[in-house]
Amino acid sequence: MHNMDVSIAKVCMLAGKIMLESGAETYRVEDTMNRIAVSYGLSNAQSYATPTGIIFSVDRVEKTNFIRISKRSTDLHKITEVNSISRKLTGDELVLSEALVQLEEVDQARLEFAEWIQVIAAAFVAGCFTIMFGGIWADFIPSLIAGGIGYATMLWFDRLVATRFISEFIASVAIGVLAIVFVQTGMGVELDKIIIGAVMPLVPGLHITNAVRDLLAGHLVAGLSKGVEAVLTAFAIGAGVAVVFGFI
């Protein structure tokens, strides 16, 4: 494999890695990698992405490159940045060396909002969902507080344990306890509406959407694995609330 092919492979692999780690659909990852390769004359480039890894080759019988994806989150800003770099590459507005430097900067950057902003946003999301699901305004503040504390609990436990499901389980337990306390002290009225609104920031909506889109695009392995991940997250949330109800 000559130097040009090596550079193309590096750019394609890094672009795919950033997108997968940021929560992009696997078919979008493969499409981006293939477009970059085709723009440099590699019409037979082969790419295969799953939620946990990427395989790429510049040709059918060339050496295969593999990278493992061990940490995944949701960062739509990074996906947008990679898409922008990809479009510039295919439009001859960037050379490979410049694209590689820009992709490395995006990979190392921390573009997500500060955790305290995430907690505040989650709190308001929880309160608004309670109203949207038919709750009364008296439950807005209890849901806001429970949702914010629940999300902060998830972020905190996420640092202590490697398994995200445990963090979500403990967060939902905290939400259930707070909701019951609010209702029993008279601060809240409808227990079910408070809990439903407060757990919404934890619900894996993007994972469910991506799973369906991957399945519709024919990526059965990726679609099923993401679907199972979303189901496990939903189970962790439901189990946490159920545990609280089991002890009252």
Instruction: Please tell me whether residues 89 and 120 are part of one structural domain.
Output: no
Instruction: Please tell me whether residues 142 and 20 are part of one structural domain.
Output: no
Instruction: Please tell me whether residues 145 and 211 are part of one structural domain.
Output: yes
φ, ψ of residue 36 in degrees (nearest 5): -65, -45
Instruction: Please tell me whether residues 148 and 95 are part of one structural domain.
Output: no
Residue 6, pLDDT score: 65
Query: Where does a domain end: 87, 108, 129?
Result: 108
Instruction: Please tell me whether residues 97 and 127 are part of one structural domain.
Output: no
Domain that holds residue 16: 3-108
Instruction: Please tell me whether residues 183 and 77 are part of one structural domain.
Output: no
Report the SS3 class of residue 49: strand
**pLDDT above 70 (res 12):** yes
**Under 8 Å CB-to-CB from 100, ≥6 apart: which residues?**
7, 10, 11, 14
**pLDDT above 60 (res 206):** yes
Instruction: Please tell me whether residues 242 and 119 are part of one structural domain.
Output: yes
* CA distances to 68, 179, 227 from 234, in Å: 26, 19, 11
pLDDT band at 78 (very low <50, low <70, confident <90, very high): very high
pLDDT band at 3 (very low <50, low <70, confident <90, very high): low
DSSP 51-117: TTEEEEESSTTSPPEEEE-------HHHHHHHHHHHHHHHTTSS-HHHHHHHHHHHHH---SPPHHH
Residue 76, pLDDT score: 87
Question: pTM higher than 0.85, yes or no?
Answer: no
Query: Where does a domain end: 108, 125, 154?
Result: 108
Query: Where does a domain end: 108, 137, 152?
Result: 108
Q: What whole-number distance in Å separates Cα of residue 107 and Cα of residue 85?
A: 13
Instruction: Please tell me whether residues 102 and 13 are part of one structural domain.
Output: yes
Instruction: Please tell me whether residues 139 and 95 are part of one structural domain.
Output: no
Instruction: Please tell me whether residues 147 and 52 are part of one structural domain.
Output: no
Instruction: Please tell me whether residues 83 and 162 are part of one structural domain.
Output: no
Q: How many domains does the chain have?
A: 2
**pLDDT above 90 (res 73):** no
Residue 174, pLDDT score: 95
Mean pLDDT estimate for the chain: 88
Instruction: Please tell me whether residues 101 and 179 are part of one structural domain.
Output: no
Q: For 9-13, 70-74, 75-79, 101-105, which range has the lowest pLDDT when averaged over its residues?
A: 70-74
Mean pLDDT of 196-208: 89
Q: For 35-39, 40-44, 153-157, 226-230, which range has the lowest pLDDT when averaged over its residues?
A: 40-44
Handedness of CA 109, 111, 114, 119 (dihedral sign): negative
Q: What whole-number distance in Å separates Cα of residue 102 and Cα of residue 81?
A: 9
DSSP assignment letter at 48: E
pLDDT band at 150 (very low <50, low <70, confident <90, very high): very high
**pLDDT above 80 (res 197):** yes
Mean pLDDT of 104-113: 85
Quick one: which of 70, 47, 65, 60 has its CA closest to 10?
65
Q: What whole-number distance in Å separates Cα of residue 38 and Cα of residue 48?
A: 15
